Amino acid sequence: MMAPRLSGIGQAALPILSFFLIFPITAQAHQSPGLPFAINTWGGPFTAATDAAYQALVANRSTSAIDAVEVGCATCERNQCDGTVGFGGSPDEQCDTSLDAMIMDGTSMKSGAVANLRRIKDAISVARHVLEHTTHSLLVGDQATQFAVENGFHEEELATPESLAKCDAWTAAQCQANYRINVSPDPTTSCGPYFPIPVPSGGDSARYSAMLAASGTGAASHDTISMVVIHTSGAMAAGTSTNGASHKIPGRVGDGPIVGSGSYVDGEVGGCGATGDGDIMMRFLPCYQAVENLRRGMTPTAAAEDVVRRMVRKYPKISSGIAVVNNKGEHGAAGSGWTFTYAVRGGAMAATEVITVPPVEVAEDLYIRPEVLEL
């Protein structure tokens, strides 16, 4: 029997389909060290969060998975991990620091999040209050701040002399790099104020979209702590905290507080934490996809690699890191655009282990090309 003839988008999709033949998803996961277990994005200063979450579970059996995630992320917020979590980091165009955070229960699948939270340091704890004291999932901006104050949190300045100096230096360098496109004056050489200019439409729009994908992602400062915890009972929780992208446009919300993007957990299957170019990553819901990959039978490593390759095929320059764990504590990760690290501690481990993950390799002929997007 002759194989069916593909035409139009079918032919264009052949390179994408052949990806799975060229790069078979067979990667093995790291074995579980036992429970309780904590995993989070990044090593270095972020290991303080891993230790804090793990030790909270070991010290008191009444500590829940949700408790441990809050403890871990709050540790990074207080420590200002790498300057990308908590107060005093990632000033926006107006020199203000705002915070994004999310926490999720893997049993009920309920989540709570805050975005563009201003003048409150304890973002992960406010997110937990959204989870436990509202029927909502996400509160934003000054209204999130008002909610926090109503729930006993205190307003205080999030900027520091260091963050203000960083903003001043950026302004003196003609606001480079920044996140503006399709504006006048030229955002690569000036600070604005900016005014929009028309973008291509109709037949030119596909090539324009491909050009944007190939051109990169602008300023590069977008680290995050994303954490997944497994209690000795098997209960799971996940959380994310970040101060976002440096020199972002005021009001910008990244992937951190978005369920399924910054993190995701289903206690019946596993969990995921992500970091990287959040504006791009949230378009793929990478952590939701990774957990669904686990549900389909993939190992944690294979689940992470599949997600990263999905993103790289359309955005070759994306910086991403995906850490995945199943409900047994088997774990793995994948990244692109940089050498990614993640931290784990579980069972009887005496110290946190940091695992280094080289960027995935994807053949260039498998990237989504302009002629594919035209169809």
End-to-end CA distance of the chain: 28
Annotated catalytic residue within 47, 224, 240, 352? 224
Query: Judging by DSSP bridges, how do beta strands 138-140 and 111-117 pair with one another?
Result: parallel
Q: Is 275 annotated as a binding residue?
A: yes
Q: Is 255 annotated as a binding residue?
A: yes
Residues 6+ apart with CB under 8 A from 141: 115, 116, 117, 118, 251
Give the separation between CA 151 and CA 146, rounded to whole angstroms.
Answer: 9
SS3 of the chain: the string is CCCCCCCCHHHHHHHHHHHHHHCCCCCCCECCCCCCEEEEECCHHHHHHHHHHHHHHHHCCCCCHHHHHHHHHHHHHHHCHHHCCCCCCCCCCCCCCCEEEEEEECCCCCEEEEEEECCCCCHHHHHHHHHHHCCCCEEEHHHHHHHHHHCCCCCCCCCCHHHHHHHHHHHHCCCCCCCCCCEECCCCCCCCCCEECCCCCHHHHHHHHHHHHHCCCCCCCCCCEEEEEECCCCCEEEEEEECCCCCCCCCCCCCCCCECCCEEEECCCEEEEEEECHHHHCCCCHHHHHHHHHHCCCCHHHHHHHHHHHHHHHCCCCCEEEEEEECCCCEEEEEECCCEEEEEEECCCCCCEEEEECECCCCHHHCCCHHHHCC
Give the separation between CA 125 and CA 106, rounded to whole angstroms.
Answer: 17
Q: Is 252 annotated as a binding residue?
A: yes
Q: Which two tokens stand for residue 317?
A: 């320059």
Residue 224 annotated among the catalytic residues of the structure: yes
Q: Is 337 annotated as a binding residue?
A: no
Annotated binding site for substrate: 252-255, 275-278
Annotated binding site: 252-255, 275-278
Residues that are catalytic? 224
